[in-house]
């Protein structure tokens, strides 16, 4: 995939509103045929960015190139790209079919062919033909999603953009549609650029993810790279719940936590010139000390605490452990869990190689 | 009313009944006065007659006043709707410098007492050298009616997702195509309601016409003129016809509006 030429290039793209830099220098190549997700918290500038990519807004500076051609000033209706809006923006006074045919109508395609196009793309979006003449006002949430997708696909865009279209629907349907969307992307081979605040959504669907913060891309990489090798504390915490321990480097090379009055073995690679910062361990990388993992002597990292609460997460169980003024989260597979009582004294441990350290 | 006791329900019904009677008896009285045979209204009516209606029908003065009033109403409604349509988009749909000032200024004519507004416009037309005529009345009434119609259409414009226009644009539609296929159909019911309001407000308007119509006489002006000198039961006859015509316009309009809404 890396050898394919980029279909869309962003070169130091900036957008400011007054003194606010909503998008603050984004450089990015999007490869033809990939599903690229831009993920970030609200206010990170991702919607502003996508509006520039589809042509609703113009960048303050920087360049946007589509297949090598600068398209900064090309308005949305003259770009071969299309977007599925957050609100879907279906035309409420039209039927399902009229919505899907709209772009063909704009191109001046005759009625009979328009219907063929509409039918083809409705089918691609898993909508039965019987919905063709149904008013969109009478469609359910999931049906509307499919109509919006079919309408955008029927435009036959070179790149299809999505501005968090799934954010407003219930969990189960969202999970189904996420997978369907990825399947449709594979089926059509189109380039999809997806925006979301949900990292979970990004993980499920993406070939590559760009994590956005304060108008900048903090990290770009495959979902597994982002997960296993997050670049900084922001990306790590954005990926999900983590345990964060403020530490400083002691002379003996160990990491000392003043709050826990304990010291820990650092992972192999410490950031250059590290003196103090945070030690981060994911809940699933933590475990309770028991006879199995202490068989060869006491584990290298230990925190003693009290079991405060437990949460059942389907196939896993998450525990909250309190130690000094800190709380820790530990996850175990339900199958591996032993019965514990709330209030029990427990000892936590983790492998140094599973921990991450960031300077602060 | 589901959880009211039978007594309370009966009291409430009679209360509503009394209010309705008090409100509508005057109109019934007008109707009665118009069929009284004698020239002046004395209750109870001794003899009834349709002669005042016959005279009304054949009166050229009254025919003229109807034609004048209808012409004014038609012009006011047409021009108001066009101005108000774009005004409403500016009011509700687009963000532009000066929008909030526009929103405030727009309402000012509504707060003026109409007699004051009429006088002001008369003085203004005079100093501009514009002749007082029914055409001047069209302008005068528009000063008051355009803001109202703008608000009516703006309500509709607030009610729809602005992203639909962007979506159409993104799908390759030109500005004109967006206007024709998206904006206009979505604002249609509001535009029609505004049109209806404009006709009815103009049809019944007296003060603005009084100050600005010069030698032309609208129906409300004719009524006023006959009230202060030369009363005959033609006055209530014309009054009743005016009300009925207004009612018919409203009923037909609501019917059409209902059809427009259902189509969406």
| Per-residue model confidence (pLDDT) at position A192 | 95
Whether A114 and B171 have beta carbons less than 8 Å apart is answered as no
**Pair A267, A353: CB distance under 8 Å:** yes
Distance CA B250, CA B256 (A): 10
Helix (H) / strand (E) containing A216: strand A216-221
Under a CB-based contact definition with an 8 Å cutoff, are residues A109 and A117 in contact?
yes
Sheet of strand A255-257: strand arrangement: A262-264, A255-257, A243-249, A276-281, A356-359
Q: Which two tokens stand for residue B212?
A: 């600005």
Q: How far is A60 from chain B (nearest CA, A)?
A: 19
Q: Contact A91/B164, CB-based, under 8 Å?
A: yes
Contact A77 B185 (CB under 8 A): no
- Alpha-carbon distance of A287 to A347, in angstroms, equals 8
Contacts of A152 in chain B (CB under 8 A): 171
* Cα of A87 to nearest chain B Cα, Å: 8
Q: Tokens for B219?
A: 């129906």
Closest among B84, B76, B195, B83 to B137, alpha carbons compared: B76
Over its length of 360 residues, how does chain A's per-residue pLDDT go in tens digits?
Answer: 445 679 999 999 999 998 888 999 999 999 999 999 999 988 899 999 999 999 999 999 999 999 989 999 999 999 999 999 999 999 999 999 999 999 999 999 999 999 999 999 999 999 999 999 999 999 998 899 999 999 999 999 999 999 988 887 888 888 889 999 999 999 999 999 999 988 888 888 899 999 999 999 999 999 999 888 888 888 888 878 889 999 999 888 889 998 888 889 888 878 878 888 999 999 999 988 877 666 666 778 889 899 999 898 888 899 999 998 899 999 988 887 777 888 888 899 998 888 999 988
Given a contact cutoff of 8 angstroms between Cβ atoms, the answer to whether A199 and A164 are in contact is: no
Residues A166, B234: Cα–Cα separation, whole Å: 68
Q: Do B182 and A91 touch (CB under 8 A)?
A: yes
- Closest CB to B177 among A90, A106, A155: A106
Cα separation, A226 vs A38, in Å, equals 12
Whether the CB of B95 is below 8 Å from some CB of chain A: the reply is no
Q: How far is A75 from chain B (nearest CA, A)?
A: 9
ipTM exceeds 0.95, yes or no: no
Are A102 and B173 inside 8 Å of each other by CB? yes
**Domain range list for chain A:** 6-236, 241-359
Residues of chain B with pLDDT under 50: none
What distance in Å separates residue A82's CA from the closest CA in chain B? 6
Q: Contact at 8 Å (CB) between A275 and A284?
A: no
Per DSSP bridges, beta strands A20-31 and A6-17 are: antiparallel
Query: CB-based contact (8 Å) between B174 and chain A?
Result: yes
Nearest chain A residue to B177, by CA: A106
With respect to CATH, is domain A6-236 assigned 3.40.30.10?
no
Give me the pLDDT at residue B264, please: 53
d(CA A323, CA A305): 4
Nearest to residue B70, comparing CAs of B262, B156, B198? B198
* Chain-chain contact of B173 with A85 (C-beta, under 8 angstroms): no
β-strands A243-249, A276-281: how paired? antiparallel
User: Rounded to an integer, what distance in angstroms lies between the CA atom of residue A31 and that of residue B144?
Assistant: 59
pTM across the whole model: 0.78
DSSP A265: P
Is residue A82 within a helix (H) or strand (E), and if so which, with residue range?
A: strand A81-84
Tokens representing A253 are 């090379």
Best of A71, A80, A93 to mutate (most B CBs within 10 Å, chain B): A93
Q: Is A168 on the interface with B (CB under 8 A)?
A: no
Any B CB within 8 A of A93 CB: yes
Whether the CB-CB separation of A172 and A1 falls below 8 Å is answered with: no
Within 8 A of B173 by CB-CB distance, chain A residues are: 77, 102, 106
| CATH fit for domain A241-359, picks 3.30.930.10, 2.40.50.100, 3.90.1150.10, 2.40.110.10 | 2.40.50.100
- Residue A183 confidence (pLDDT): 92
Q: How many Å lie between the alpha carbon of A130 and the closest alpha carbon of chain B?
A: 19
List of chain B residues whose C-beta atoms are within 8 Å of the C-beta of residue A92? 160-161, 164, 186, 264
Which residue in A92, A102, A155 is closest to B264 by CB distance?
A: A92
Q: Decide: helix, strand or coil at residue B200.
A: helix
């Amino acid at each position: 995939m890396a050898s394919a030429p980029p279909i869309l290039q962003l070169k130091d793209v900036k957008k400011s509103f007054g003194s606010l830099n909503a998008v603050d220098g984004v450089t990015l190549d999007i490869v033809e045929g990939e599903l690229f997700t831009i993920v970030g918290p609200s206010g990170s500038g991702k919607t502003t960015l996508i509006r520039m990519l589809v042509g609703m807004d113009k960048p303050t500076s920087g360049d946007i190139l589509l297949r090598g051609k600068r398209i900064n000033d090309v308005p949305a209706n003259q770009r071969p790209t299309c977007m599925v809006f957050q609100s879907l923006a279906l035309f409420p006074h039209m039927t399902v079919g009229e919505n899907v045919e709209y772009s063909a109508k704009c191109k001046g395609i005759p009625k009979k062919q328009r219907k063929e196009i509409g039918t083809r793309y409705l089918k691609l979006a898993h909508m039965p033909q019987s919905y063709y003449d149904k008013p969109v006002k009478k469609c359910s949430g999931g049906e509307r999603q499919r109509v919006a997708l079919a309408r955008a696909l029927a435009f036959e865009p070179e790149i299809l953009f999505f501005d968090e279209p799934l954010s407003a629907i219930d969990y189960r349907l969202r999970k189904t549609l996420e997978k369907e969307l990825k399947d449709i992307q594979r089926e059509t081979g189109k380039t999809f650029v997806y925006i979301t605040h949900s990292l979970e959504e990004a993980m499920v669907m993406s070939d590559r993810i760009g994590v956005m913060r304060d108008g900048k891309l903090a990290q770009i990489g495959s979902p597994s790279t982002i997960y296993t090798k997050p670049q900084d504390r922001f990306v790590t915490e954005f990926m999900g719940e983590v345990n964060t321990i403020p530490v400083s480097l002691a002379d003996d090379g160990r990491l000392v936590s003043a709050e826990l009055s304990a010291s820990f073995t650092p992972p192999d690679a410490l950031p250059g010139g590290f003196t103090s910062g945070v030690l981060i361990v994911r809940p699933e990388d933590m475990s309770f000390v028991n006879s199995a993992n202490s068989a060869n002597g006491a584990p290298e990292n230990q925190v003693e605490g009290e079991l405060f609460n437990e949460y059942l997460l389907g196939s896993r169980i998450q525990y909250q452990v309190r130690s000094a003024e800190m709380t820790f989260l530990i996850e175990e597979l339900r199958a591996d869990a032993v019965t514990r009582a709330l209030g029990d004294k427990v000892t936590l441990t983790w492998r140094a190689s599973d921990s991450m350290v960031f300077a602060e | 009313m589901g959880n009211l006791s039978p007594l309370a329900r009966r009291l409430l019904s009679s209360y509503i009944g009394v209010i309705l009677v008090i409100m509508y008896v005057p109109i019934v009285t007008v109707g009665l006065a118009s069929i009284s045979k004698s020239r002046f209204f004395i209750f109870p009516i001794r003899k009834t007659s349709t002669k005042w209606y016959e005279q009304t029908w054949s009166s050229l003065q009254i025919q003229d006043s109807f034609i004048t009033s209808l012409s004014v109403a038609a012009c006011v409604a047409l021009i108001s709707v066009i101005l108000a349509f774009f005004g409403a988009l500016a009011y509700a749909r687009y963000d532009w410098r000066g929008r909030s000032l526009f929103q405030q200024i727009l309402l000012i004519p509504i707060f003026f007492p109409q007699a004051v507004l009429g006088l002001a416009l008369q003085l203004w037309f005079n100093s501009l050298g514009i002749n007082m005529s029914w055409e001047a009345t069209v302008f005068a009434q528009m000063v008051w009616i355009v803001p109202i119609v703008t608000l009516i259409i703006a309500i509709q414009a607030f009610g729809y997702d602005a992203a639909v226009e962007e979506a159409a644009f993104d799908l390759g539609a030109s500005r004109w195509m967006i206007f024709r296929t998206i904006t206009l159909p979505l604002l249609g019911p509001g535009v029609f309601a505004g049109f209806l309001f404009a006709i009815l407000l103009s049809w019944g308007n007296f003060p603005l016409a009084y100050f600005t119509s010069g030698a032309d006489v609208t129906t409300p002006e004719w009524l006023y003129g006959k009230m202060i000198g030369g009363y005959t039961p033609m006055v209530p006859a014309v009054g009743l016809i005016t009300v009925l015509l207004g009612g018919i316009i409203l009923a037909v309009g609501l019917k059409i509006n209902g059809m427009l809404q259902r189509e969406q």
